Amino acid sequence: MNSLGKLYGVGIGPGDTELLTIKAVNVLNSVEVIFTPRAAPTRDSIARKIIEPVLDNKKKIKELTFPMTKQKEELEYYWAEAASEVENVLKEGKNAAFVTLGDPFLYSTFIYLYRKIRERNPLVEIVTLPGISSIFASASAAGIPIASGSEKVAIIPLSRDVNQIKPYLDMFDTIFILKVGDKLQDLVDLLSRLELADKSVLVQKVSQAGLQRVIRNLPELREDELREVGYLSTVIVKKA
Ligand SMILES: C[S@@+](CC[C@H](N)C(=O)[O-])C[C@H]1O[C@@H](n2cnc3c(N)ncnc32)[C@H](O)[C@@H]1O
């Protein structure tokens, strides 16, 4: 018999507590420990804010730190630390949940944890619960149908050289551009050059109470505004 606890990767949606699935709420209230990711020990956890209103026992939350760094060695260290903390709970025979914003299998910290735990302990049962991705919530907030008929859709994380997205802008009908951050100015310049700026919408902090912004006139924003709205934002380009 497997005496290890079960691990749930729970997608908790993009911000609004009401976008949690019933299954997510049931699992969060059934497990002994809930792990939430945060970027630094001093940073507020968005995930925590989303789930706290539906929890019947707030004491079981443990925060795990995943710094926003691209340094492979540093990341490796934090993933291994996080995996050990989760494994310690599972080894006590307790079930645990690791929550992620949006969906757990889309550019999420959970994917690293999932791989790490699989690699170190193949006997652990891991169940993934899908969540409403920021992609879907952003399209709804902007009133942009994602695809109909034979339209093709792309999801692209923006790299430092924004020109790399050009082929996708060519090939696809709807393009979701994630991880915009401080590259927004370069992206807007590129979209303007390609005459796609008026077909682009930025959605920031979708479904987060009082914080959501939907911006359609990107080229008219000042430099400082562009810097500010890039964080936790998705740009949707809809060509048709
Ligand atoms: C690491 S990915 C995580 C995606 C997440 N797993 C999901 O399904 O939404 C982070 C990127 O998703 C987008 N994103 C996440 N939350 C968002 C939100 N509330 N509003 C708009 N975009 C968001 C941004 O492009 C951000 O840079």
pLDDT of residue 45: 80
171 and 100 in one domain?
A: no
Q: What are the residues whose beta carbons fall under 8 Å from the beta carbon of 42, sequence distance 6 or more?
A: none
How far, in Å, from the CA of 156 to the mean position of ligand 1? Answer: 12
32 domain residue, yes or no:
yes
Model confidence pLDDT, tens digit, residues 92-134: 999 999 999 999 999 998 999 999 999 999 999 999 999 999 9
What pTM was computed for the model?
A: 0.94
Predicted local confidence at residue 78, as pLDDT: 86
Count of structural domains, the chain: 2
For the beta carbon of residue 122, count every other beta carbon within 10 angstroms: 7
Q: Is residue 195 part of a domain?
A: yes
**Whether residues 156 and 216 fall in one domain:** yes
**Residues spanned by the domain of 190:** 134-238
Residues with CB under 6 A from ligand 1: 14-15, 100-103, 106-108, 133-134, 138, 178-180, 203-206, 208, 232-234
Rounded distance from Cα 209 to ligand 1 centre (Å): 16
Q: Which amino acid is at 115?
A: R
The pLDDT, as a whole number, for residue 240 is 87
100, 129, 158 — which closes off a domain? Answer: 129
CATH number (domain holding residue 225):
3.30.950.10
Sign of torsion over alpha carbons 185, 39, 6, 23: negative
pLDDT at 43: 66
In a shared domain, residues 174 and 98: no
> What digits encode the pLDDT tens for the residues 61-80?
999 888 777 788 888 888 89
Which residue, by CA, sits nearest to atom 21 of ligand 1?
Answer: 233
Ligand 1 center from residue 3 Cα (angstroms) = 35
Residue type, 77: Y
Residues 81, 164 within the same domain: no
Q: Could you tell me if residue 1 is inside a domain?
A: no
pLDDT tens series, the chain, 240 aa: 458 999 999 999 999 999 999 999 999 999 999 999 887 766 678 899 999 999 998 778 999 888 777 788 888 888 899 999 999 999 999 999 999 999 999 999 899 999 999 999 999 999 999 999 999 999 999 999 999 999 999 999 999 999 999 999 999 999 999 999 999 999 999 999 999 999 999 999 999 999 999 999 999 998 888 888 988 999 999 998
- How far is the centre of ligand 1, averaged over its atoms, from the C-alpha of 107 (Å)? 8
